[in-house]
């Protein structure tokens, strides 16, 4: 059983997938940091210094003092935080789009792969049947 597990773990697909997941996590942290620490302050600056995350519609206000008995927290729809999330999603999507375009440009266009022997044979059969 240990040998089977070792063989499974050491296959190329599992290792490639593990590396991809780890790198995706690292890229996610970098992109999220870029958006929250660099882009969102610029968006806030051009929106008059407004912090969208504080915008909300209060359904029921807080009652009592926090930490005391009988305290009831505020119940609110935090639409500003949701708006921040949407803006972040759009910016992250754009950043990933730019990164993808840069990768394609750096690597050059990949040539179309030559057909395999089976595909070539099937193409010949198809052409013969057309005649």
Beta strands of 1-131 (E only): which ranges?
57-60, 75-77
What are the structural domains, with CATH classification, of the chain? Answer: 2-111 (1.10.1200.120)
Q: What is the pLDDT along the chain (131 residues), one digit of tens a residue?
A: 888 877 777 776 777 788 888 888 888 888 888 877 888 788 778 877 777 778 889 898 888 787 788 888 888 898 888 888 888 788 878 878 888 888 888 887 667 788 888 999 999 999 999 98
pTM for this model (two decimals): 0.52
Distances, alpha carbon 125 to alpha carbons 66, 114, 119, 120, in Å: 80, 18, 10, 9
């Amino acid at each position: 059983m240990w040998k089977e597990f070792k063989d499974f773990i050491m296959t190329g697909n599992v290792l490639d997938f593990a590396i991809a997941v780890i790198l995706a996590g690292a890229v996610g942290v970098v992109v999220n940091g870029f958006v929250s620490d660099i882009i969102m302050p610029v968006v806030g600056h051009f929106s008059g210094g407004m912090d969208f995350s504080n915008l909300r519609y209060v359904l029921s206000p807080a009652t009592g003092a926090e930490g005391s008995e009988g305290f009831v927290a505020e119940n609110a729809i935090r639409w500003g935080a949701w708006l921040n999330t949407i803006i972040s999603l759009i910016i992250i999507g754009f950043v990933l789009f730019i990164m993808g375009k840069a990768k394609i440009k750096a690597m050059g266009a990949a040539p179309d792969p030559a057909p395999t022997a089976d595909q070539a044979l099937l193409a010949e059969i198809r052409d013969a049947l057309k005649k």
